[in-house]
């Protein structure tokens, strides 16, 4: 998220260890959202399957 | 013992418009959340940094107050302006508070409904899964917005007002960055908190239980949440599941 903030504000990232392109930081956030939505779609059901 | 005939009539009251049904959940969830004094204290503390920013911006533009205060050095004067680095630092700090807020509120949103089989109560009404998730997420989104981009943009506009014409156009990027960055973080944290709340109920372990116990002390209740019983004007449809 630090990379996202830096990209949005147009700042240089001091720590080269975390220096990665801004698009990869955005992609990581997007993947996190997709994973969370997938988990929610699996869990939020009006019934439960008993095997 | 007398046995009287019982007749059940269809609900005749006003129906909640479909587009606003998801707002019923955050209304009752917000009541529950703000019943906790600990949470209210934490929420008030979240406004300390924006308030300090407001004071600094005001002092920077009020020369008389600046001279009378102890903040006289040039470095201090520079810090009293809303620049990209200072705005980014403030946004990062508020993001951490967002995370803590999600830790407080998030686990108690979905887990009690799953644990007590409360979901059929919601979903047996004309209320979709999307609306359920949207309603639960609105609780987090509203609270986080109040501590991130809302005060951030207010401070930005306050400084634009004090700086005069031209400053707003030159520094429009700061306002956009505050808004876009805050929303990105809010959406990610809200969705992850809800997902952990849903999954942690089954897995019964890890960090969720710690957060759950923390919340149980001040908020969790047994049984499905009150919003399920208060889907005003949304009559139950027997046997309808999604």
The predicted model scores a pTM of: 0.75
Query: In A, residues 18-47, which contact B (CB 8 Å cutoff)?
Result: 26, 29, 32-33, 35-37, 39-41, 43-47
**From A13-22, B113-122, B127-136, B188-197, the region with the lowest mean pLDDT:** A13-22
Our CA-based measurement puts residue B191 at a distance from the nearest CA of chain A, in whole angstroms, of 6
The answer to whether B236 contacts chain A (CB < 8 Å) is no
- DSSP symbol at B171: T
What does the pLDDT read at residue B94? 86
Mean per-residue pLDDT, B178-191: 92
Q: Name the band, by pLDDT with cuts 50, 70 and 90, for residue B77.
A: low
Our CA-based measurement puts residue B68 at a distance from the nearest CA of chain A, in whole angstroms, of 33
Mean per-residue pLDDT, B43-65: 85
Say if residue B237's pLDDT is above 50. Answer: no
Q: Do A41 and B173 touch (CB under 8 A)?
A: no
Mean per-residue pLDDT, B102-108: 85
What does the pLDDT read at residue B7? 77
Instruction: Please name the residue that has the structure tokens 């129906």.
Output: B15
Cβ(B176)–Cβ(B84) below 8 Å: no
What does the pLDDT read at residue B162? 86
Minimum-distance CB partner of A5 among B88, B122, B202: B88
Question: Which CB contacts under 8 angstroms, 24+ apart, belong to B176-180?
Answer: B176/A8, B177/A5, B177/A8, B177/A9, B177/A10, B177/B84, B177/B87, B177/B88, B177/B91, B178/B87, B178/B91, B178/B148, B178/B149, B178/B152, B178/B153, B179/B149, B179/B152, B179/B153, B180/A8
Chain A residues with beta carbon closer than 8 angstroms to that of B127: none
Cβ(B60)–Cβ(B66) below 8 Å: yes
Q: What is the CB neighbour count within 10 angstroms for residue B183?
A: 15
Mean per-residue pLDDT, B87-116: 85
What does the pLDDT read at residue B204? 47
What does the pLDDT read at residue A19? 67
Mean per-residue pLDDT, B74-91: 65
The answer to whether B174 contacts chain A (CB < 8 Å) is yes
Q: What is the CB neighbour count within 10 angstroms for residue A47?
A: 11
What does the pLDDT read at residue B233? 46
Mean per-residue pLDDT, A26-45: 90
Q: Residue A28: enclosing H or E segment and its boundaries?
A: helix A22-43
Q: Do A44 and B173 touch (CB under 8 A)?
A: no
Q: Do A6 and B114 touch (CB under 8 A)?
A: no
Integer angstrom CA distances of residue B1 from A3, B4, B7, B222? 74, 10, 19, 35
Taking all residues of chain B, what is their mean pLDDT, rounded to a whole number? 77
Q: What is the DSSP string of B175-215?
A: HHHHHHHHHHHHHHHHHHHHHHHHHHHHH--HHHHHHHHHH
Mean per-residue pLDDT, A6-13: 77
Report pLDDT digits (tens) over B187-225.
999 999 999 888 865 444 444 454 554 455 444 444 445
Q: Do A40 and B195 touch (CB under 8 A)?
A: yes
Q: Name the band, by pLDDT with cuts 50, 70 and 90, for residue A6.
A: confident
Instruction: Name the residue among B92, B99, B108, B101 with its Cα closest to residue B38.
Output: B101
Region label for B206, one of left (φ > 0), alpha (ψ between -120 and 50) or beta (otherwise): left
What does the pLDDT read at residue A21? 80
Question: Which CB contacts under 8 angstroms, 24+ apart, belong to B61-68?
Answer: B61/B162, B61/B163
Instruction: Please name the residue that has the structure tokens 């009150």.
Output: B226
Q: Do B191 and A29 touch (CB under 8 A)?
A: no
Mean per-residue pLDDT, B135-157: 91
Q: Do B95 and A6 touch (CB under 8 A)?
A: no
Mean per-residue pLDDT, A2-14: 77
What does the pLDDT read at residue B240? 40
Say if residue A43's pLDDT is above 80. Answer: yes
């Amino acid at each position: 998220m630090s990379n996202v903030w830096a990209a949005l504000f147009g700042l240089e990232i001091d720590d080269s260890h975390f220096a990665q392109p801004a698009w990869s930081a955005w992609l990581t956030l997007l993947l996190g959202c997709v994973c969370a939505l997938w988990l929610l779609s699996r869990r939020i059901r009006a019934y439960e399957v008993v095997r | 013992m007398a046995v009287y005939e019982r007749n059940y009539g269809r609900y005749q009251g006003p129906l909640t418009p479909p587009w606003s049904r998801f707002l019923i959940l955050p209304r009752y969830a917000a009541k529950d959340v703000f019943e906790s004094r600990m949470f209210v204290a934490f929420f008030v503390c979240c406004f300390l940094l924006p308030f300090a920013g407001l004071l600094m911006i005001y002092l920077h533009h009020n020369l008389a107050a600046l001279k009378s205060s102890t903040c006289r050095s040039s470095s201090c004067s520079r810090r009293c302006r809303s620049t990209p680095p200072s705005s980014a630092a403030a946004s990062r700090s508020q993001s951490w508070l967002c995370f803590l807020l999600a830790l407080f509120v998030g686990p108690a949103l979905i887990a009690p409904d799953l644990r007590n089989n409360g979901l059929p109560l919601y979903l047996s009404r004309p209320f979709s899964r999307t609306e359920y998730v949207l309603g639960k997420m609105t609780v987090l989104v509203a609270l986080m917005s109040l501590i991130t981009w809302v005060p951030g943009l207010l401070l930005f506009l306050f400084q634009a007002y004090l700086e005069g014409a031209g400053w707003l156009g030159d520094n429009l990027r700061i306002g956009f960055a505050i808004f876009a960055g805050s929303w990105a973080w809010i959406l990610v944290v809200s969705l992850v908190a809800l997902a952990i709340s849903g999954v942690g109920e089954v897995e019964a372990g890890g960090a969720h239980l710690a957060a759950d116990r923390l919340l149980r002390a001040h908020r969790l209740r047994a049984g499905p949440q009150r919003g399920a019983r208060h889907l005003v004007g949304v009559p139950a449809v027997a046997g309808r599941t999604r």
